Amino acid sequence: MTPVPFTEILALCMIGAFFLMLLGGIPVAICLGATGLIFGYFGFGPMLFSLLPSRIYGVVTNYTLLALPLFIFMGIMLEKSRIAEDLIEVIGLAMGGIRGGMALAIILVGVLMGAASGVVGATVVTMGLIALGPVINRGYDAGVACGVICASGTLGQIIPPSLVLILLADIMGESVGTLFAAALIPGLMLSLLFVGYILALGILKPHLVPAIPAQERALTSGKQLAVKLVKVVLPPIALIVLVLGSIIGGVAAPTEAASMGALGSLVLALLAGRLDLSILTAAVRGAFITSAMVFLILIFAQPFGLAFRGLGGERLVQDAFSLVPGGLNGQILFLMVVLFVLGFFLEWIEISYIALPLFLPIFQSAGVDMAWLAILVGLNLQTSFLTPPFGWALFFLKGVAPPSIRTIDIYRGVLPFIAIQLLGVVLVFFYPSLALWLPEAIGW
């Protein structure tokens, strides 16, 4: 039996040390930088990091990644200006006569907010604050209400302009426009699966998702409702068309479109009469903090990745994948299982920049379409926001939920939506055209 080289032993120890530090509560960026630098130095000395300055310089000067803080600002501004609050109120009244109508309104708002900003935390918190209480008071089951808010808030993970897709484009060497086009149909398909689940609940278990009483709906006339729909729903849709249409249509680069989106969010807040210095300051501060966290992880991931590759970690991963039965399809399914399990413990950005680059060379050498694989990964990573015990959407909602909402209610509510998201992964796996048709049709 061939002995394992010392450097590969160090690579395994580096992974173990990273998880131990993470479980100890140390920030993920520090875990990445410390383990990468220490174990890389033990293995090769300072020469291993001769490429490190250029790698970090490449991150901070990456023109595509400049879209991240702009999209983050756009999402926070839409949250602070209470655009989502208006959307839920108006769309909820429009669908209130249907069993599960309020839940359908939450899903639709999740789609609109996801397509307008791509920031999951802001959407979940906003909908939790303004929708959870009224929905529970109208007789909805607590688990269903929590589940639909968490799941709808995570739609921004896959519906463009998604921050996940921007980072996956950088990792996989694809254009952002290609991934945005590839994600559009799967994202809408997932939304329709959510809608189908709520409609089925309305038929099979109507007591869990009752309709809004007719007396309450009668307080707003049809004409008033139509005017509100035009005033409240059309502006965000126009912003979405402006941003996504310009990227997918090849008119503007992602960073240029993101700047238009940031400006558009300011215009929407101004038109709603809610743009003042305090809201602008809060949006800028929030965007700065979130962007700094993301870029700190990206920078500290460079010594980690450099050390792992230098220590022979890629060869270890390739050897492990060679043992997976089922050929290439079996290896892709194995990757999906690994990412899903990691989602119970890690955030999507950690999975994207730590785990994913270890596996990619295998699929790139096999000629796998990277756009299709990116959508599979994006759908899979979306579940990391919902899977207990560390799903961030669960934490976001619990932080703003009324005291009567128990953690078990949230966990119970998200389980059907996790199953639906996994069904979405299965459908895209067996029908790649769901992801590849639109990019091919528009010539990406």
Digit-coded pLDDT (tens) for 400-438 = 787 888 888 888 899 999 999 999 999 999 999 999 999
199 by DSSP, 3-state: which?
A: helix
pLDDT, residue 12, reads: 83
Question: How much is the pTM?
Answer: 0.82
Structure tokens at 231: 């005033």
Digit-coded pLDDT (tens) for 38-84 = 888 887 777 767 778 888 888 888 877 788 888 888 878 877 787 77
- pLDDT > 70 in the chain, percent: 94
Q: Is 285 exposed, middle or buried (0-12, 13-18, 19+ CB in 10 A)?
A: exposed
pLDDT, residue 9, reads: 82
pLDDT above 90 for 198: yes
pLDDT, residue 3, reads: 53
Digit-coded pLDDT (tens) for 105-158 = 889 888 887 776 666 666 777 778 777 887 888 888 889 999 999 898 888 888
When pLDDT is cut at 50, 70 and 90, the band that residue 219 belongs to is: low
Of 189 and 94, which is predicted with more confidence? 189
Asked if 222 and 204 touch (Cβ cutoff 8 Å), the reply is no
312, 364, 320: which is closest to 338 by C-alpha? 320
Asked if 158 and 190 touch (Cβ cutoff 8 Å), the reply is yes
pLDDT mean across residues, the chain: 82
Structure tokens at 375: 């959508």
Q: Name the strand (E) or helix (H) holding 367.
A: none
pLDDT, residue 29, reads: 82
- pLDDT > 90 in the chain, percent: 14
Annotated domain spans of the chain: 6-441
Q: What does the alpha-carbon distance between residue 110 and residue 187 come to, in Å, rounded to a whole number? A: 11
pLDDT, residue 1, reads: 43
Asked if 233 and 91 touch (Cβ cutoff 8 Å), the reply is yes
Question: CB under 8 Å, gap of 24 or more: what pairs does 250-256 form?
Answer: 250/177, 250/442, 250/444, 253/63, 253/64, 254/64, 254/67, 254/161, 254/166, 254/176, 254/177, 254/180, 255/63, 255/64, 255/66, 255/67, 255/70
Place of tokens 């002995």: 3
Of 196 and 301, which is predicted with more confidence? 196
pLDDT, residue 196, reads: 94
pLDDT above 60 for 2: no
pLDDT above 60 for 207: yes
Digit-coded pLDDT (tens) for 422-431 = 999 999 999 9
Asked if 35 and 28 touch (Cβ cutoff 8 Å), the reply is no
pLDDT above 60 for 359: yes
Structure tokens at 55: 């790698």
What percentage of the chain's residues is helix, strand, coil (to nearest 5)?
A: 80, 0, 20
pLDDT above 60 for 4: no
Asked if 107 and 194 touch (Cβ cutoff 8 Å), the reply is yes
